[in-house]
């Protein structure tokens, strides 16, 4: 499995001839709403996993998030500051299904994420050991910019 750092994502973006380079200087303006997972740790993701950011209440830094994992719905809180993100209180329903291993990998990757940014309109979260989650806004957009060839 190939893990991509921000520098590698920038190099990959340039090599692919994409117009924009990754921007991780500030929290994306259009973060609020639903995102669809397209890549996990440099590999294409199976469809159906979502992450929905709710707007923080006026005067509060912390806000709620929720989504659909391969088997269960999940939820928690998040904060952002510049290019930093913190997820806390991540919890999920407890329905059994054949994709629980895949779901475990997703949750293990999501909770420790520390950086947030945009690459070609895709939301990119990065964490320890260059772990990467990439999301598109549109369910029909399965393009994975951070996935190696």
54-98: pLDDT as tens digits: 998 888 889 999 999 999 999 999 999 888 999 999 999 999 999
Q: Does residue 139 lie in a domain region? A: no
* Residue 88 within any structural domain of the chain: yes
Q: Kindly indicate the confidence band of residue 7, based on its pLDDT and cuts at 50, 70 and 90.
A: low
Residue 36 lies in a domain: yes
Tell whether 149 is covered by a domain. no
Predicted TM-score (pTM) of the model is 0.82
User: Do residues 22 and 9 lie in contact, with contact meaning Cβ atoms separated by under 8 Å?
Assistant: yes
More confident residue, 4 or 61: 61
Q: What is the CATH number of the domain that holds 51?
A: 2.40.128.270
The residue range of the domain holding 16 is 6-134
Is there a domain that residue 113 lies in?
yes
- The three-state DSSP-derived secondary structure of 100-147 is HHHHHHHHHHHCCCCEEEEECCEEEEECHHHCEEEEECCCCCCCCCCC
pLDDT at 25: 47
Q: Is 92:72 a contact under the CB 8 Å cutoff?
A: yes
145 lies in a domain? no
Domain contains 148: no
pLDDT at residue 2, as a whole number: 42
Asked if residue 143 belongs to a domain, the reply is no
**CA gap 22, 10 in Å, rounded:** 6
Dump pLDDT digits (tens) for 37-48: 999 999 999 999
Per-residue confidence at 3, pLDDT binned at 50, 70, 90? very low
Number of domains in the chain: 1
């Amino acid at each position: 499995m190939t893990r991509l750092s921000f520098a590698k994502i920038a190099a990959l973006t340039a090599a692919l001839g994409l117009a924009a380079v990754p921007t991780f200087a500030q929290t994306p303006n259009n973060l609020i709403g639903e995102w669809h997972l397209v890549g996990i740790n440099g590999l294409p993701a199976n469809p159906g996993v979502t992450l929905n950011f709710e707007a923080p209440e006026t005067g509060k830094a912390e806000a709620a998030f929720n989504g659909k994992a391969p088997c269960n719905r999940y939820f928690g809180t998040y904060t952002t500051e510049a290019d930093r993100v913190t997820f806390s209180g991540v919890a999920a329903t407890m329905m059994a299904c054949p994709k629980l291993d895949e779901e475990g990998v997703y949750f293990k990757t999501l909770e420790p994420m520390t950086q947030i940014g945009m690459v070609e309109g895709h939301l990119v979260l990065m964490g320890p050991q260059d772990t990467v989650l990439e999301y598109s806004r549109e369910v029909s957009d399965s393009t994975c910019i951070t996935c190696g060839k």
